[in-house]
Amino acid sequence: MKAGYNIQQMQYFTALKMGEKRVRVAQDILNKYTGNVAMPALALKDNNNNNWEPVGEENYFASIKAQNGYLIAICDKNGIAKSVAQWFIEVKRDEIINNIIKNENIPEYSGKLILPI
């Protein structure tokens, strides 16, 4: 262990690196179907006890309607968004989601989506 780092910091950096890899995978998937407009989102789970954990490895898609159109996200089983793409009209959103389902075999997440602020 490097001098100056405590166990929590080491856990944080290890979890962050793993989470960042999972974010890149999710972003690559979303970029395939959105014309390369997907952005990275959250790499770590917020569990409020200083035990850092990366976002889950599993992928689900979710869509939210907002004033500007539809946001599409790739998230883990807990609804933590790993990558997001925004704002799409309904027809384009449906086309993107249908391609994700057909080509990636990714199921829909129906719970509360956790987005970066």
Distance CA 20, CA 54 (A): 8
49-91 pLDDT per residue, tens:
767 899 999 999 999 999 999 999 999 999 999 999 999 999 9
pLDDT for residue 1: 46
2-32 pLDDT per residue, tens:
555 566 666 888 999 999 999 999 999 999 9
**Confidence class of residue 47 from pLDDT cuts 50, 70 and 90?**
confident
Which of 56, 61, 50, 47 lies closest to 22, judged by CA?
Answer: 56
Report CA-CA distances (Å) from 32 to 37, 54, 67, 68: 9, 23, 25, 22
